[in-house]
Amino acid sequence: MATIKDVAYKAGVSKATVSRYLNNKYVSDKTKKVIEDVIKDLNYVPNKVAQGLSNQKIDIIGIIVPDLINPFFSEIVSTIEKEAIKNNITCMILSSNNDINLEKEALQTCLDFSVKGIIIATSSNEEINVDIPIVAIDRCYLNATKFIGVDNKKIGHNIINYFVSNNKKKTLCILGPNNVMTTRDRACGIQEAALKNNIDVDIVYSSYSDVEKVGQDIIKNRIEEYDSIFLGNEMICLAFLKLGLKENILKMSIDGTYLSTLIKDDIKIIKQPIKKMAVLAYDKLVNWNNKIEETIIDIEG
């Protein structure tokens, strides 16, 4: 059975263009004729459910996150979805699995369904041309008119200040992958504050959700040489606890998701304003204007 992708390929146009044609939106007469001929040749039958969505019988928004295993992103998605349900808006939830190519496919899928707009926590800062409203959350995105996030450089400063206030001299920081904006900004803040306070810091770039990888990366370091450790999110925190290493080391983590209730009390948790970020991103999208905006929300602790 032919698909919209087959039609687009044979017609030499994008799937979004075929979708516009199927939903009686503007397509040039020349392109319209080509698509019509291809549809006849392939005996293509349009998906009526998708057409109903894109004709706005049901409002629909796209949510694209890098990872649904990470509770930080699953809580963002859950919060947005709850807000959408109140207003009879359907959410198309997609994960890029931290792969820029899968992210591009997710964006194209959103276009195929003619979503009202997209909320995205990107896997990359690569520019992709998508001509619909986009709100970036947590991670900046070059196509996004609006960005909702926190000051991750300031978080880096706060991490070191906490260890310094507890008279610590040598810190190990286990962060996520260094191609992620939040990771890079926190690392920058950590290094700045460490230099200012004359504290030794080693940074390890690992994963935000792969517990096994994090464990292996921690084991590679001589943990007994450090008096403090920052664990880049609560998944990383659980990976560290699973190893059962050096209980007397001063520990700090970040996010404040439901996982924080499973973590020992002697680990200080910086709480991110997850729900505030998610609700604001949703509000900015459904009450759209073309004003360029960057909203930085204070961390909670």
Residue 89, number of CB atoms within 10 A of its CB: 18
The long-range contacts involving 290-298, CB below 8 angstroms and separated by at least 24 positions, are 290/145, 291/145, 292/145, 292/146, 293/145, 293/146, 293/147, 294/146, 294/147, 295/146, 295/147, 295/148, 295/149, 296/149, 296/150, 296/151, 297/148, 297/149, 297/150, 297/273, 298/150, 298/273
pLDDT at 50 over 90: no
Residue range 160-188, pLDDT digits in tens: 999 999 999 999 999 999 988 899 999 99
Helices (H), 143-223: 152-165, 181-197, 211-219
Question: CB–CB of 7/35 below 8 Å?
Answer: yes
Burial (Cβ within 10 Å: 0-12, 13-18, ≥19) of residue 102? middle
- Specify the pLDDT at position 125: 67
CA distance 25 to 34: 16
pLDDT at 3 over 60: yes
**Domains in the chain, start-ordered, CATH in brackets?**
47-149+276-296 (3.40.50.2300), 152-271 (3.40.50.2300)
- Both structure tokens of 22: 């199927």
pLDDT at 51 over 60: no
Question: CB–CB of 210/238 below 8 Å?
Answer: no
Residue range 116-149, pLDDT digits in tens: 899 999 877 666 667 789 999 998 877 778 999 9
Q: Give the mean model confidence (pLDDT) for residues 16-38.
A: 85
C-alpha 12: how far from its chain's center? Answer: 32
Residue range 218-267, pLDDT digits in tens: 998 888 899 999 999 999 999 999 898 887 899 999 999 998 888 877 89
What is the DSSP annotation of 200-214? EEEEEE--SS-HHHH
Going from the C-alpha of 215 to that of each of 27, 52, 207, 243, the distances in angstroms are 53, 47, 10, 7
Cα angle 101, 49, 37 (rounded to 5 degrees) comes to 75
- Specify the pLDDT at position 182: 93
pLDDT at 111 over 80: yes
Q: Considering the chain, what is the average pLDDT of its residues?
A: 89
CA distance 289 to 296: 18
Question: 257 φ, ψ to 5°?
Answer: -80, -175
C-alpha 218: how far from its chain's center? Answer: 24
pLDDT at 48 over 60: no
- Specify the pLDDT at position 179: 87
CA distance 69 to 62: 18
More confidently predicted of 1 and 158: 158
